[in-house]
Amino acid sequence: MNIENTVSLRVDKSALPVIRHIDADWTRKDFMGSVKVRAGFGRDNYKVNSGLYAFGKPDADSDILVTANYKLTFDVVRRNLKGLNVWLLVLDTRGVNVWCAAGKGTFGTAELIKRITETNLSQMVNHRRLIVPQLGAVGVAAHKIKESTDFHVVYGPVRAEDIKPFIRANYKATETMRTMYFPIKERIKLAPAELKLNYKLLLFGIILLTGLSGIEGLKFNLAKLVHDFWGVSMLLILAYLSGTFLTPALLPWLPFRNFSAKGAFAGFFSWVVVAMLWRFKADLDALSWFLLFVSLSSYIGMNFTGASTYTSLSGVKKEMKYALPLQIVIGIAGLGLFLVSNLLS
């Protein structure tokens, strides 16, 4: 053995990583944190430290799982590890989940190589196997990991709940484990964050339309403004909710492929229901609200493109390029007709 190889295999105990120990049980703080982040509060800084974690009592033969440092992802993974003794290698994804981070490049080859090196992982285990979540595959080049670190990547299941069955099956995934599902309960979980994300747009719309509603003929009628406030607010909130909740809830059944079109159809459906129950002042007023419902619901619905399993990054960019200008034009047309309706009243 030459000197160079001897040096590379020498164990430098001072360089061994700081290992944090974790368990499966969530605390009340963890649960409340998940509720808050689902609602869109504190989402930009909800993360754990990157590095190596020990779950149970892992040894040199224990499996190594790779995940992101977004705390909700981290917590869901550890909750599904009960009964296992494993190492958890956490990458610094800037507090972003595995899927989105893989698309952005932070859950990627360079970051994984960096963490393997910094934690001296080759000194911690006898094997050279890393279990990387399938949703992170787009960001991780397995052959480059092998070339740089001698570790080989095994792509694990889509969902954390399948980690234990996957390991017990000798690292073989079933078709179900490889399939990404997007059921209604998962889609609805995204709605509260979307509700909070665009609330300023809703408030601006309420203020603007309430102000325009005070116009009567060529005069400004304060009493009319006060009278119309609740009606205007309710209609805008319904249009907002059709994009925020109705679009994700009915996603598989709404016509069209693009999310902007799906959101527009949800807005149209909501307007039809409202038109049957609401007494609009005139046909022009009804038409203005039709355009406002469609444009607002379409815009909100389009935001779900980045959170669904139905689209790619290139598809999202392409859709926004033509949909956003169209939504703006339709929205301005709705505002214009609303103003004209009041001027003619």
45 pLDDT tier (thresholds 50, 70, 90) = confident
Cα distance between residue 294 and residue 284, in whole Å? 16
Average pLDDT over every residue of 45-54: 93
**pLDDT band at 314; cut points 50, 70, 90:** low
Contacts 24+ apart (CB under 8 A), 308-311: 308/182, 308/187, 308/251, 308/259, 309/180, 309/181, 309/182, 310/182, 310/251, 310/257, 310/259, 311/259
The HSE-up count of residue 179 (CA atoms within 13 Å, CB side) is 6
pLDDT band at 99 (very low <50, low <70, confident <90, very high): confident
What is the per-residue pLDDT across 252-309, written as a single tens digit (0 to 9) for each? 899 988 889 999 999 999 999 999 988 787 789 999 999 999 999 999 988 877 666 6
- Residue 219's pLDDT is 86
Per-residue pLDDT, averaged over 1-17, amounts to: 40
- Return the pLDDT at 10: 38
Confidence of residue 6 (pLDDT cuts 50, 70, 90): very low
Residue 310 confidence (pLDDT): 62
Q: Is the distance from CB of 112 to CB of 66 less than 8 angstroms?
A: yes
Rounded mean pLDDT, 42-50: 88
pLDDT for 229 equals: 93
Mean pLDDT of 91-104: 90
pLDDT at 311 over 80: no
pLDDT-derived band at 16, boundaries 50, 70, 90: low
Integer angstrom CA distances of residue 322 from 101, 245, 325, 332: 26, 24, 6, 16
Q: What is the pLDDT of residues 148-193, one digit of tens each?
A: 999 999 999 999 999 999 999 999 999 999 988 878 888 888 788 7
Alpha-carbon distance of 68 to 90, in angstroms, equals 5
Neighbour order of strands in the sheet with 19-22: 19-22, 51-55, 86-91, 64-68, 129-132, 152-155
Q: Which of 262, 292, 248 is nearest to 274 (CA)?
A: 292
The conformation of residue 96, written as its DSSP 8-state character, comes to: -
DSSP-derived letter for residue 25 is: P
Domains of the chain by start residue, with CATH: 3-180 (3.40.50.11600), 185-343 (no CATH)
Q: How far apart are CA 99 and CA 68, in angstroms?
A: 9
Average of per-residue pLDDT across 133-159: 94
Mean pLDDT, rounded, for 58-84? 95
Structural tokens at position 153: 């990547």
pTM: 0.77
Answer whether 64's CB lies under 8 Å from 90's CB.
no
Kindly report, residue by residue over 109-125, the tens digit of the pLDDT.
999 999 999 999 999 99
For 194-246, what is each residue's pLDDT tens digit? Answer: 788 888 889 999 999 999 998 887 788 899 899 889 999 999 999 999 999 99
